[in-house]
Amino acid sequence: MNLPNKITVARIMLIPFFLIVMLVPFNWGNVQIGTQILPMTHLVGAFIFILAATTDWIDGYFARKYNLVTNLGKFLDPLADKLLVSAALIVLVELGFAPSWMVIVIISREFAVTGLRLILAGEGEVVAANMLGKIKTWTQIIAISALLLHNFPFAMISFPFAMISLWVAVFFTIWSGWDYFVKNKHAFTDSK
């Protein structure tokens, strides 16, 4: 297993730590950031999430720079993104920070595109993430980070950045899902 794939696996391994910090009722107190008060668990959870999300850029950088792009990496990288984002979104619903219907739309798209990838893999095609899919992932990461941080620092000026970011993420989620299916419609129309 090459370095980029190891980094991707590390991203997957950070997910349980994120879930434990966010969902186990630790009493670590609160922390004040500017005029905002956040539970320490949310700050630590946001840090773990952002660290894990950053590895998405790092593994891609090493894979491209050192020509270490593999089929395993093309499979694992989007899977790691989906697992991380899905876990975080479900936590946000549990905490009452994100509307469940938006999370259902995002996760449904992830299942649908994963199903499409499996169909194409059965035909010998490996579909790497395209630019629209990467934009979708980063808009989701920005929205989740803002929600985990209770809209910091925008809450100080009463600007709903976190919710606007979530709407943008839903938009790109739908658009990129549509794009994957349009570009790969042959998976459903070709007969063997």
Q: What is the DSSP letter of 155?
A: G
CATH 1.20.120.1760 fits 3-189, yes or no: yes
Are 8 and 77 contacting, i.e. CB atoms less than 8 angstroms apart?
yes
Residue type for position 29: G
Domain boundaries, the chain: 3-189
Within 10 angstroms of residue 25's Cβ, the number of other Cβ atoms is 5
Model confidence at 72, in pLDDT bands (50, 70, 90)?
Answer: confident
Are 140 and 85 contacting, i.e. CB atoms less than 8 angstroms apart?
yes
Burial of 119 by CB count in 10 Å (0-12 exposed, 13-18 middle, 19+ buried)? Answer: middle
Please give the pLDDT value at position 125.
81
* Reported pTM: 0.90
Model confidence at 190, in pLDDT bands (50, 70, 90)?
Answer: low
Has residue 41 got a pLDDT over 60?
yes
Per-residue pLDDT reduced to its tens digit, 159-189: 999 999 999 999 999 999 999 999 988 888 8
